[in-house]
Every structure is written in structure tokens, then in C-alpha cells.
Chain A
């Protein structure tokens, strides 16, 4: 008897700002759409625990996609992308997510992302509060400078290992060794996109003067950060949430910057609370 997972994968082709993307996504569950973004330089396997967690799939239609250039989502098929340096911008990132939600006909989805996925969740709350029921920025802040580094693809070093081991201690030492090494493995696969992703994360994403324009009473914003996150330390997230009208901050113990991937069992406790708050504020 084959041991099939209930998670299924599909491709959908969309056009975003003149780019034709064939996007791969994983899916499981029914009910309220919950669309999930992986971290920079990684792919949707980071959400493997959530995608098979029956407590959540019972009530949520969970979709975890690969951003173009990550995992099984190719770079654009209609562009000579190899002739220019990849640098992700906030505008393109937001446009992509909205186009993907439109293509999948998601009604009032909740958007959740971690790290650069968390930062774009804030961008969505600012730019498209009409399109999302709520956002859950994980390991996010209004500004996250310092990680747009040449080391991520220095030709004299093994970029796969630099990226994977360079983010190693973004994870908590308490997280299970297997999950930390799986996360390491994902990072070894994404080195060519990592630096371009971090252009958004550390350079183009800067909401320090915009937080007052986010209204979490219209589109709830529930932020969560782990105490072992050195890149977006808890105080950075708390300070961001405090400046958003109606913003909520949840601190996560004994976990780091990749909570859904490094320790789903700990993360799920906090996610349950975040979704409870969203439900309370939107029903």
C-alpha cells in the first residue's frame, strides 16, 4: 500500500508585470484560504508540517507556493533572465502574490509568510488591505537592514554551503536536529536566488515612515517572532506591531527565524493563537 501524503502539488501559469511565471504550489485542506510564503532562498517544503497538520487542514485551505526562481517555480519563461541580476522589489512581490491569489480564485485569503515573507505581509497590509482577510507576518519588521551581502554568491566560496550555514544560527539550538538540517538542505538549494531576495528584505522593504498608514482594524495584522531570531529580534517586531493601529505581537519561546520549518510542533501552538485572534477580529 503506497504511503501517499494528502498534500498535492500543481502548477499554475500567471503573468505579472510582463513576466510569465509557471508557479508550483502545494495544497491541502478545506475552508478558509491560508496562503503561505517561504523564506528568502528557500521553498515551500518549509511548510511541510503545517500542510499535513489535520488540526489546521480541517478548517483551512492551506496553499504553500514556490516564489519564481525557488523550488519548482522557474524564472520567467518569456525573459532572458540570465542576462540581468535578480533583485526582488516590493512592488513586484506584492503584484505577484495578488495575481496568484486571483488565479487561484481565493476569496478573502489570510496571508502568512516568514522573514522576507513576513515583511511582504506588512507590504500587503499597507497596499492591498482590500484583498486579504488578514496577514500573519512571521519574523518580520518594518525595516531589516544588513543581510544584502555579497557572500551569498561569492564565486570563490561554495555558495550553497555559505547560504545554508550562514542562516544556521537563525534557528534555535532547541529545535530538532532533523528539522534544522532539512532547513539547511533547503537553503543549499536556493543560493542563486537568495541575494536577490534579500534586496527586497534588507533594501527595498522600508516601512519606517509608513506604519501609521497600515490599519489592522481593516486588515488584521498578527505578528509573531521567535526569541532566537538575531536578524529580526523580538524587540524589532514588537516595535513594529506597536506602531500599527490595532497591530498584535506574539513572542515565541525557544524558536528562531524559520519557526514553521525548524520546529512545527512549537510553532503550531502560536499559530493556533494567531488564527484565533484573526477569527475573533473578522467574525
Chain B
């Protein structure tokens, strides 16, 4: 049973805002990105390393810098405490599974350290699909 999206958003924000690895270099980690889980979409807006807002019901024209799109099953694999090989990161899953990286990837690269650390927090809070 998938966790409720509002509950998930609260957990994800709390984990991010209190993560020492992100916060020690959080200044300028400012961008927005879409997690497209097929059955559910959310837009995460970051400002200086903190979650400014999580849009849990994005409208078609709501903006973001870049997007990660994959099947719900792939997102569930991302969220396992110890993911299977090829589901253990965005590079692995985009090379070998169905993850697509879209949008302004320069923004992703500019924020790659913190984005990567934050993405792995899904292993602690799960995903809402």
C-alpha cells in the first residue's frame, strides 16, 4: 500500500531539511524538479538546501527545471532500503532501466551533489506509488 502523498511530502521535506550532508553544503541548492512516477507526479522546489514547497498535484503547465520519469515499479525499487542493481541511482537507472532524464539537465548537473544525496532519502521515506 503506497503512502499518502501529503504524508510522503512531509517526510521527504523533514528528511531533506535535517540531512547533515545536504545542509553542510546546502547554500545555493536552489532549483525545482519533477518526480514523474507515472501514477503520481510531484514537483519539488528547493531553496538554499531546504524544501520550499512540494507541489503534490501539479497542473499541466506548472514549471520545473528538469524531470525524472519512470514507471511506478522503478520508483518503488528506488525506495527499497537496499535497491537492486541498476535501481541504485539515477545514472544506473537511466543507462540500464526505464528512467528518463528530461528538461534542463544543466541545472541537474549544477546541483548534482545535493540532488544525489537527496534522491537517496527516498530509501528512508518511500515513494507515494
Q: How far is the CA of A231 from the CA of B94 in the complex (A)?
A: 11
A166-B112, A230-B92 as given contacts; A173 in contact with B106, CB under 8 Å: no
Number of contacting residues on B, CB 8 A? Answer: 21
Q: Are A230 and B82 in contact (CB under 8 A)?
A: no
A236 → chain B closest CB, angstroms: 11
Chain B, range 100-129, C-beta contacts under 8 Å to A: 105-106, 109-110, 112-113, 115-116, 120, 123
- B86, B92, B105, B123 interface centre (most CB from chain A within 10 Å): B92
Q: Indicate if the CB atoms of B95 and A146 lie closer than 8 Å.
A: yes
A269 interface residue (CB < 8 Å to B) = no
Interface string of B80-98 (1 = CB under 8 A from A): 0011011011111001100
A157 with B106: CB separation less than 8 A = yes
Residues of A within 8 A of B95 (CB): 146, 230-231
A172 to B85, CA, bound (A): 8
From A154, A161, A165, A227, B85 is in contact (CB under 8 Å) with A227
B117 CB to closest chain A CB (Å) equals 8
Q: Which of B82, B88, B113 contacts A165 (CB 8 A)?
A: B113
CB distance from A127 to the nearest CB of B (A): 29
Whether A157 pairs with B109 at a CB distance below 8 angstroms is: yes
Q: Are A161 and B92 in contact (CB under 8 A)?
A: no
Contact for A173 among B88, B112, B115, CB less than 8 A:
B88
Q: How far is the CA of A24 from the CA of B96 in the complex (A)?
A: 37
Find out whether the CB atom of B89 lies under 8 angstroms from the CB atom of A168.
yes
Bound complex: CA of A197 vs CA of B85, how far in Å?
Answer: 25
Q: Give me the interface of B with A, judged by CB distance under 8 Å.
A: 82-83, 85-86, 88-92, 95-96, 105-106, 109-110, 112-113, 115-116, 120, 123
Question: Can you give 15 contacting A-B residue pairs, CB < 8 Å?
Answer: A156-B106, A157-B109, A157-B112, A161-B113, A166-B112, A169-B88, A169-B116, A172-B85, A172-B88, A173-B82, A173-B88, A227-B85, A228-B85, A228-B88, A230-B86
A interface residues, Cβ below 8 angstroms from B: 146, 151, 154, 156-158, 161-162, 164-170, 172-174, 227-228, 230-231, 233
